[in-house]
Each structure stands twice: as C-alpha cells, then as structure tokens.
Structure 1
C-alpha cells in the first residue's frame, strides 16, 4: 500500500476500541513495527483513562502530540511534581498540539469522550523505565483515580494557563 487515508471512520473505529478497552484508551500505529525509527500513531483516550505522568529521557525522544478529535488537557510538571503549565488542546482551538522536549514530565487527560490525538516520536519502541515515570504520581489503581480526578480538576471551566 502506498497511501493510507486518515478519515472519520478510522477515528470512530479507534474510539470504539478505546471505549471497550479496560484501560479506556487505544492506539493505532502507522509505523510497521516497534523497531521502526519513526513512530506515528493515533491514540484514542476517554476521560476516565489515567496516563501516569512521565518523561522520555532519551534525547532522541522529543514527542509531538496533535489533538485531532475532542479536547485534551495537557499538563507539564517540574521534576518535583509541581504543575508548570496546563493547556487545553482542541482541533479548532487556539492550541491544537504540543511539542514536548525529552526530559519534560507530562501527562494528558481527555476532557470529553471520544478524544483522539496523533503522536509522533523517534523509534524504536522501548517501554518506559522506572526513572521515566514520575515517582510522585501513583501507578495504576485506586490511588490513581484520585490523581486523575485532581488532574481533570485542573481544567474545570476549561481555564488555560
């Protein structure tokens, strides 16, 4: 195949997969395998999905995220867990994406059901190490629900910082 069309049907399909997933998110990779040097993917996320704050330590792993459907709250943290900046990303909003430098702690929350982002970063895929996860934020589980509620609360009234 020489081209792949990205359309509403594709967005709807990945959203439906996320809504059925226990993690309440799902990615659709465009790169052919995990060792590929350029990772490009859609990531559908629901408002009750927790993305543990993390960073990418590899200097080649800067990450670009574009909101293509719905609304996302992006949170940047300093190394101690203090919020540095928040922003609402939306396809028709003032800000529709973010380019995050390696080493920057970040997380995202879906501000409405059916939200989808496009992500791009260098491959190959390597699972995050413990040093890349924020030690000050909980792993998945019940404490994570409280943390997710706190992160969502940063966007009450869709305020932007």
Structure 2
C-alpha cells in the first residue's frame, strides 16, 4: 500500500516550480506495461499543454482535480474552442461544480490551469506507448516555441476565465480571486 498526502503534493508542486515546463508528474503505477496508467500532475498557471488528441492509441482519459482549478478546453478541427469545462475539487464541495472530466480519445483538447498552482490525477488504460501517446494539433504552437506557446496559453486562459462556464461554476468558490 502507498499513501499520498500533503507532503507528496508539496514535493510535487516544488518540482513543478523548478521544471522548465512548469509542471511535474508522479507516476502512481510501477510500469508502462500496467493495464491502468495513473499519475499526479502538478501544473503552474504558465504551464502550456499543447492541444492534442489520442488517435494513434485511442484510449479515454479521466482527469480529476486534486487541488486548484483547471479548465478542459476542447477544439474543433480548425482549432476553434468548442467547449470549456472548469473543474475544481474546492468548487465542487462549495458549489457543486465538476471536479473531473472524461475525455474521448478523438477529441482535440488541452488543460489550462486557472489558479497559480493546480494538481490533477490522470487515469488512462494501459499499457502506455510513448511513440503513440498523442497527436499534437498542428494549428497550435509547439511547446518548444516558448514565446508563441506562452502567448497562446495566455489567450486560452483569458478566454476560459471570461467564459460563462467558469464564472458560473467557480465564482464565489474557494478560489474567488481567480476571476
């Protein structure tokens, strides 16, 4: 048995702070061969996750907020935002907002942190094949292009924070200073 508590989350968040990608994950499985892949992912507000989908190895993803607030953004084929779904454990307990989302493998999507720091649990069927992990959206900046990626992330985050979904579901929650 392994227990995960505040120390685990604090160490993970500290590692994300010093990471060039401004995020850090902690595998909760022992091997990429396991039938269930699960990990914690600590993100800062400036951590860019390029929109992507999972067509090469089509498996659903389950994302659950552990701390902070996040938004799942889905996109159409042209890269226009189709939906914004905020999720937060704190807002769930205070207002009944979603605390997690399930993502179809064929859906273009990205996760945007809405708070300065957030941690999510991701669960996906295994085994994990790094060569077929995801198909990046060609209409979105590459993570390696830092200036373009940060500009795009700022636009996504601004759009999410101004959306009715975020205002309705996360306003007056445990994180009122974010909107």
TM-score, length-scaled by structure 2? 0.82
Counterparts in 2 of 1:1-161, with a 5 A limit? 3-58=1-56, 60-93=58-91, 94-127=97-130, 132-140=135-143, 141=145, 142-157=147-162, 159-160=164-165
Q: Could you say what secondary structure the match of 1:149 adopts?
A: helix
**Offset from partner CA, 1:61-89 (integer Å, 9 cap, x none):** 10000001001121011122111100211
Structure 1 unaligned blocks of 5 or more: none
- Between the aligned partners of 1:21 and 1:121, the Cα distance in structure 2 is 24
Structure 2 unaligned blocks of 5 or more: 92-96, 167-179
> Contact (CA 8 Å) 1:56, 1:128: kept in 2 or not?
no
Post-superposition shift, 1:159?
Answer: 3.4
What's the Cα RMSD here? Answer: 1.9
Q: Across the two proteins, how many residue pairs are aligned to each other?
A: 159
**Offset from partner CA, 1:122-156 (integer Å, 9 cap, x none):** 12222365971111101022211111111111123
CA separation of 1:130 and 1:82: change in aligned 2, threshold 3 A: farther
Q: Could you say what secondary structure the match of 2:8 adopts?
A: helix
> Contact (CA 8 Å) 1:88, 1:158: kept in 2 or not?
no
TM-score, length-scaled by structure 1? 0.91
- Between the aligned partners of 2:134 and 2:17, the Cα distance in structure 1 is 30
Name which of structure 1's ranges 89-98 and 61-70 shifts more when overlaid on structure 2.
89-98
CA separation of 1:76 and 1:128: change in aligned 2, threshold 3 A: farther
